[in-house]
C-alpha cells in the first residue's frame, strides 16, 4: 500500500530535502533560503522542492512526500516624503496569495546608493566613430560571455547592488541608430554610473540572444564590450575586424518569418527575461530599438507571453527609441519628394505620417507600462533612458514565502502585501504572478483536455512559431466567409525527426470570440505529416500550412489559435483581433473584400501542406478556382522567380449585371513608385447570390530588386465614380 502526503514544510524539512534533491532544482536556489543566507530565486512561481522517502520494501511501506513552492517578492516601502524606510522585519509584513495569508520565511533589505560615481577620466576622450579604422585587439581576449552566471549559495555579490541590463535589438535598428545607442551606453558608463551599479550587456541579432557581458562594475570591461560592438572583434588575430554574425540560427526556411513579424523580437526579449529569472533582485532592462510595431501578421499572444515572463522574472523594461527626436516632412523636403495627391491639401498625408510613427512606438510603450518601466521617446540624449532605469531602483525588501498553492496549473496568483498596524507608508510590489504549468505525458481524452486547458491559459505558451492570416469575403447581405491560413516553419518538426519519429501529428484548436467574450466559432483539427527522407527534405525549405474557414456576421472578434506537436508536446499560441466590416453600409467607396497575396496555387487536397477541406468548405471558399487553391502567403515574403498572385472581390449590391471595373497594382519604396501594372478592365463575373465580382492578377516580380515595398491595389468603378484602395507591406527576396 502506498500513500502520498503533501504538506507545507518548514525550513528544517526543506533543508533535509535539498541535500538529496537539489540537483533538479538549481533554478530555485532554495538552499540559500534554508540556510538563511542570500536567496537567488525568481520573484514569482519558482518551482517545487520535493522530499521523497522511499523505503527498501516500497510495497509494504508508505511513501512520504513533502512539496513546497518558494515565492520571492520585492517590495519598496517609502514614507510620505518619498524616502525609503528600512528596519522592517518579517513581523511587520502581511502577505496574502489569492486571499490566503502566507507564512513569511525571510525578509532582506537591499540598500542602494543613489549618488553617481566619480567621472571616468578614460571616458573623457572622444568616442570612436564608425569611419575610423578598427583598433587592433588581437591581444585582447574575447569579451563575449556565454550567459548570466547564477551565484552559488552564500555568494553575496548582488547584495545592495543595482542591476541594469543594456539590451541592443540589432534587428530593429539601422546602423546609424545602433551607433547612437552604443554612444549612450558609453556616456552612461563614463559619467553617470553609480557605485552600486552592476551592468550587463545583451544583443539580439536574429540568431539569438547573446550575453556580451555578465554583470560587472568594471568600466573598462564594459567600454571594451561596446567598442567591440561598434568595430567588431578580431577573433583571428589578423588585425582585421570581424563583422557581427547576422545569420539566423533558425534555418533558411524561417527567414521569411523574421522580416515583418515582430514575434521573434518579442520572443528574444522573453528569452532575455528568462535568463535573468534566477536572480531574485530587481532588474532594469534598457531596450534599445528603432520602434517595434505590431501589425496584422504579428502575434499578440507573444506580446503577452513576453510581458508575463518579464513580470515573473522581476524585470522592468525601459524601452529607448534609438531614432531620437524625429521631424518628418510629409509634404517633402530637400531629400524626398512629396507623395502628391489630394491628401497633401486635406492634411491626410501629415496625419498618416504621424500616426505611422506613433504606432511604431505603441508596443514599446506597452512593454514599459505593463512591466513597471518607463519609455524614452523623442529625445536625443539616449543615455537618459539608462539613467531613468537606474533611478527607478531604490532601496527595497526581498520577501520570501512558501506558497500554500502548490498546484502547477498555470493560473494567476494574486498577491497582496501590507504592513501591520496603522502606518502611513507607501508600498510598491508586483500584484501577482502566473503559476508554472506542468504537462505530463498524456494520451486519449487527457491529450484533448490538455489542449483545452492551454487554450484557456492567460499566460500563453509560445514554444512553436506561428504566423496567421485572416481574410473575409461576403457570402450574402448578412454572412461572411472567413478563411484562416496558418503557417508554421517546417524546421519546427525537426525535433520530432531527430527523435526518430516516422511521422508526427500537429493538433490544432481555435476559438473565435466577440467583444463581449461570447464564443462564435470553434475549430478542432489535426494534420498528419510523414517524416520520411523525401518529406523531411521538403520541410527543410517549405513551411507547413494549415487552412480552414468559418462563417461570421460583421463585427469585432478575437481569434486564439493553438498548435501542438503531438510527438514532442510543444505548443504554440497565436492570438489576434480582427474586424469584419459591414460592406452594405459602404456608399462612398467601392466595397471590396480583404486582399489575398500569394506566390503559388496548388491542387486541391495537397495533404502535406494543408488539411483536406470538405466539399462544402471548398465550395464556399473563393480561393478555389479551376480545381486549384490559392495559398495565401501569410508572411508576405515573395521570391523574384515567382509571380505574385493577387485576389480580391468587389461587390455591386444593386446590380443585375456586371458594372465595369478597372483595377491595377502598384509598388512603392518609400515615396517612390517603382512599378505599376497595366490597368485591367473587368466586365463580367458577377455572382448573382453574393453580388461579388472576382478580381485576379498575376504580377511578375522579376523587375523588382530585392527589398521591402508597399503593395497597393486600386479598384475604380468609372460608372459610379467610386474607388477603393488597399495597401500592405511586402518583401521581395532573390
- C-alpha grid cell, residue 587: 456608399
Q: What pLDDT is stored for residue 47 in this prediction? A: 40
- Sheet of 209-216, strands arranged across: 209-216, 197-204, 162-169, 283-289, 315-321
Work out the percent of the chain whose per-residue pLDDT is above 70.
70
* Residue 539's pLDDT band (cuts 50, 70, 90): low
More confident residue, 49 or 490: 490
* pLDDT tens-place string over residues 559-581: 999 888 877 778 888 888 899 99
Q: Decide whether 121-149+158-391 matches 446-582 in CATH topology.
A: no
Q: What pLDDT is stored for residue 258 in this prediction? A: 60
* Residue 421's pLDDT band (cuts 50, 70, 90): confident
The CA distance from 623 to 633, in Å, is 13
* Predicted TM-score of the model (pTM): 0.66
The CA distance from 368 to 269, in Å, is 13
Q: What pLDDT is stored for residue 278 in this prediction? A: 86
Q: What is the mean pLDDT of the chain?
A: 76
Q: Does position 557 have pLDDT exceeding 90, yes or no?
A: yes
* pLDDT tens-place string over residues 596-655: 998 888 777 654 444 444 444 445 678 888 878 888 888 888 888 888 999 999 998 888
More confident residue, 729 or 331: 729
582 by DSSP, 3-state: which?
coil
Q: What pLDDT is stored for residue 5 in this prediction? A: 32
**DSSP string of 208-231, one letter each residue:** -EEEEEEEE--HHHHHHHHHHHHH
- The average pLDDT across 70-97 equals 89
Q: What pLDDT is stored for residue 191 in this prediction? A: 84
More confident residue, 62 or 203: 203
* pLDDT tens-place string over residues 190-217: 888 888 889 999 998 866 788 899 999 8
* pLDDT tens-place string over residues 226-264: 988 888 754 444 444 444 443 333 333 455 666 656 777
Q: Which residues pair with 203 in a beta bridge?
A: 168, 210
Q: What pLDDT is stored for residue 605 in this prediction? A: 60
Helix axes 300-312, 263-276, angle to 10 degrees: 10
Q: What pLDDT is stored for residue 370 in this prediction? A: 87
- The average pLDDT across 214-226 equals 90
Q: What pLDDT is stored for residue 599 in this prediction? A: 86
At the topology level of CATH, where does 121-149+158-391 sit? Rossmann fold (3.40.50)
| Antiparallel, parallel or unpaired: β 283-289 and 315-321 | parallel
* Residue 500's pLDDT band (cuts 50, 70, 90): low
The CA distance from 471 to 359, in Å, is 22
Q: What pLDDT is stored for residue 662 in this prediction? A: 92
* pLDDT tens-place string over residues 147-157: 788 887 777 78
The contacts of residue 435 (CB under 8 Å, 6+ apart) are 45, 405, 407, 408, 409, 410, 411, 412, 413
* Residue 683's pLDDT band (cuts 50, 70, 90): confident
Neighbour-count burial for 213-228, b at 16+ CB within 10 Å, e otherwise:
bbbbbebeebbbbbbb
State the DSSP H helix or E strand holding residue 399, giving kind and residue range, or none if neither.
strand 396-403
Which residue in 434, 476, 421, 440 sits closest to 649, CA to CA? 476
**Domain map of the chain by residue range?**
11-111+396-434, 121-149+158-391, 446-582
Q: CA-CA-CA-CA torsion for 599, 605, 607, 610, nearest 10 degrees?
A: 50
Q: What pLDDT is stored for residue 21 in this prediction? A: 33
* Residue 279's pLDDT band (cuts 50, 70, 90): confident
Q: What pLDDT is stored for residue 200 in this prediction? A: 92
Which residue in 546, 489, 469, 472 sits closest to 295, CA to CA? 469
- The average pLDDT across 65-84 equals 80
Neighbour-count burial for 500-532, b at 16+ CB within 10 Å, e otherwise:
ebeebebbbbbbbbeeeeeeebebeeebebebe
* Residue 664's pLDDT band (cuts 50, 70, 90): very high
Q: What pLDDT is stored for residue 22 in this prediction? A: 33
- The average pLDDT across 479-500 equals 76
* pLDDT tens-place string over residues 297-326: 566 778 888 888 898 888 999 999 888 887
* Residue 553's pLDDT band (cuts 50, 70, 90): very high
CB atoms within 10 A of CB 654: 6
The CATH number of domain 446-582, selected from 3.40.50.1980, 2.60.120.580, 2.60.40.10, 3.40.710.10: 2.60.40.10
CA distances from 510 to 208, 564, 585 (A): 29, 12, 30
Q: What pLDDT is stored for residue 97 in this prediction? A: 92
* Residue 335's pLDDT band (cuts 50, 70, 90): low
Q: What pLDDT is stored for residue 356 in this prediction? A: 72
Q: Are 728 and 597 in contact (CB under 8 A)?
A: yes
Q: Does position 343 have pLDDT exceeding 50, yes or no?
A: yes
Q: Does position 367 have pLDDT exceeding 80, yes or no?
A: yes
- Let me know the angle formed at the C-alpha of 291 by 289 and 292, rounded to the nearest 5 degrees: 100
Q: Does position 29 have pLDDT exceeding 50, yes or no?
A: no
- C-alpha grid cell, residue 559: 481569434
Which residue in 459, 463, 481 sits closest to 472, CA to CA? 481
Amino acid at each position: 500500500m502506498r500513500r502520498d502526503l503533501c504538506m507545507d514544510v518548514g525550513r528544517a524539512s526543506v533543508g533535509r530535502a535539498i541535500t538529496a534533491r537539489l540537483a533538479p532544482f538549481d533554478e530555485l536556489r532554495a538552499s540559500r533560503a534554508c540556510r538563511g543566507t542570500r536567496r537567488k530565486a525568481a520573484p514569482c512561481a519558482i518551482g517545487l522542492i520535493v522530499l521523497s522517502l522511499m523505503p527498501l520494501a516500497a510495497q509494504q511501506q508508505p511513501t512520504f512526500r513533502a512539496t513546497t513552492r518558494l515565492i520571492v517578492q520585492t517590495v519598496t516601502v517609502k514614507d510620505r516624503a518619498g524616502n525609503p524606510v528600512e528596519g522592517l522585519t518579517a513581523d511587520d509584513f502581511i502577505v496574502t496569495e489569492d486571499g490566503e495569508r502566507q507564512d513569511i520565511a525571510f525578509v532582506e533589505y537591499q540598500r542602494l546608493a543613489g549618488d553617481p560615481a566619480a567621472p571616468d577620466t578614460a571616458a573623457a576622450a572622444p568616442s570612436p566613430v564608425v569611419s575610423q579604422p578598427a583598433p587592433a585587439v588581437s591581444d585582447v581576449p574575447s569579451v563575449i560571455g556565454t550567459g548570466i552566471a547564477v551565484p552559488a549559495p552564500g555568494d553575496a555579490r548582488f547584495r545592495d547592488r543595482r542591476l541594469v541590463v543594456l539590451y541592443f535589438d540589432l534587428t530593429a535598428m539601422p546602423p546609424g541608430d545602433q551607433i547612437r545607442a552604443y554612444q549612450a551606453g558609453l556616456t552612461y558608463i563614463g559619467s553617470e554610473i553609480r557605485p552600486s551599479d552592476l551592468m550587463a550587456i545583451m544583443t539580439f541579432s536574429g540568431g539569438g540572444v547573446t550575453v556580451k557581458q555578465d554583470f560587472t562594475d568594471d568600466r573598462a570591461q564594459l567600454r571594451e564590450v561596446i567598442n567591440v560592438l561598434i568595430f567588431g572583434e578580431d577573433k583571428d588575430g589578423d588585425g582585421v575586424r570581424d563583422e557581427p554574425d547576422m545569420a539566423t540560427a533558425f534555418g533558411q526556411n524561417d527567414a521569411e518569418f523574421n522580416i515583418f513579424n515582430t514575434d521573434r523580437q518579442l520572443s528574444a526579449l522573453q528569452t532575455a527575461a528568462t535568463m535573468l529569472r534566477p536572480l531574485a533582485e530587481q532588474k532594469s532592462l534598457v531596450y534599445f530599438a528603432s520602434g517595434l510595431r505590431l501589425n496584422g501578421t504579428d502575434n499578440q499572444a507573444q506580446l503577452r507571453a513576453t510581458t508575463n515572463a518579464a513580470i515573473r522574472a522581476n524585470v522592468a523594461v525601459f524601452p529607448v527609441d534609438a531614432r531620437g527626436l524625429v521631424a518628418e516632412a510629409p509634404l517633402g523636403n530637400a531629400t524626398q519628394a512629396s507623395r502628391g495627391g489630394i491628401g497633401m491639401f486635406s492634411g491626410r498625408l501629415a496625419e498618416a505620417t504621424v500616426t505611422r510613427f506613433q504606432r511604431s512606438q505603441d508596443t514599446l510603450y506597452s512593454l514599459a507600462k505593463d512591466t513597471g518601466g518607463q519609455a524614452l521617446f523623442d529625445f536625443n540624449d539616449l543615455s537618459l533612458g539608462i539613467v531613468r532605469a537606474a533611478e527607478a531602483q531604490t532601496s527595497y525588501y526581498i520577501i520570501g514565502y512558501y506558497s500554500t498553492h502548490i498546484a502547477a496549473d498555470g493560473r494567476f496568483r494574486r498577491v497582496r502585501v501590507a504592513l501591520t498596524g496603522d502606518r502611513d507608508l507607501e508600498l510598491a510590489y508586483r500584484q501577482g504572478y502566473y503559476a508554472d504549468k506542468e504537462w505530463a505525458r498524456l494520451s486519449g481524452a487527457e491529450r484533448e483536455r490538455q489542449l483545452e486547458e492551454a487554450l484557456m491559459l492567460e499566460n500563453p505558451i509560445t514554444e512553436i512559431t506561428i504566423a496567421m492570416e485572416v481574410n473575409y469575403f461576403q457570402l450574402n447581405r448578412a454572412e461572411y466567409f472567413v478563411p484562416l491560413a496558418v503557417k508554421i516553419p517546417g524546421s519546427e518538426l525537426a525535433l520530432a525527426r531527430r527523435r526518430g519519429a516516422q511521422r508526427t501529428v500537429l493538433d490544432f484548436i481555435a476559438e473565435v470570440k466577440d467583444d463581449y467574450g461570447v464564443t462564435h466559432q470553434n475549430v478542432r483539427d489535426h494534420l498528419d505529416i510523414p517524416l520520411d527522407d523525401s518529406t523531411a527534405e521538403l520541410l527543410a525549405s517549405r513551411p507547413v500550412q494549415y487552412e480552414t474557414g468559418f462563417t461570421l456576421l460583421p463585427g469585432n472578434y478575437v481569434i486564439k489559435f493553438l498548435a501542438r506537436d503531438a510527438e514532442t508536446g510543444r505548443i504554440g499560441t497565436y492570438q489576434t483581433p480582427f474586424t469584419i466590416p459591414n460592406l452594405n453600409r459602404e456608399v462612398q467607396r467601392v466595397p471590396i473584400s480583404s486582399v489575398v497575396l500569394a506566390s503559388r496555387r496548388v491542387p486541391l487536397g495537397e495533404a502535406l501542406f494543408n488539411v483536406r477541406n470538405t466539399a462544402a468548405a471548398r465550395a464556399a471558399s473563393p480561393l478555389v478556382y479551376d480545381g486549384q487553391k490559392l495559398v495565401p502567403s501569410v508572411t508576405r515574403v515573395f521570391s523574384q522567380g515567382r509571380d505574385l498572385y493577387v485576389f480580391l472581390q468587389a461587390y455591386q449590391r444593386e446590380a443585375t449585371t456586371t458594372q465595369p471595373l478597372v483595377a491595377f497594382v502598384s509598388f512603392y519604396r518609400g515615396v517612390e513608385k517603382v512599378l505599376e501594372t497595366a490597368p485591367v478592365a473587368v466586365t463580367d463575373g458577377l455572382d448573382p447570390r453574393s453580388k461579388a465580382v472576382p478580381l485576379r492578377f498575376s504580377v511578375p516580380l522579376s523587375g523588382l530588386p530585392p527589398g521591402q515595398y508597399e503593395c497597393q491595389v486600386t479598384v475604380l468603378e468609372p460608372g459610379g465614380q467610386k474607388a477603393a484602395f488597399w495597401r500592405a507591406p511586402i518583401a521581395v527576396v532573390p
